[in-house]
Amino acid sequence: MTTDAAPLGRCPECGRSVPSGWALIEYERANGEQGVFAECPSCESVIRPE
């Protein structure tokens, strides 16, 4: 099994890398940038990866 998708970023609570498969919702911000909410696989919180 290979994972080609880049991680979403790091959890602001525990610092762990958040894999792209943990994304819950993607959205477009008012300034046109993409945003995402994800679940951290380590601390199990809903976060905005940094």
Task: For the sheet with 34-39, list strands across it.
Answer: 23-28, 34-39, 46-47
3-state secondary structure of 20: helix
pLDDT tens for the chain, 50 residues long, are 455 678 999 999 999 999 999 999 999 999 999 999 999 999 999 999 99
Residue type, 30: A
Instruction: Please give the backbone phi and psi of residue 48, each rounded to the nearest 5 degrees, phi first.
Output: -105, 105
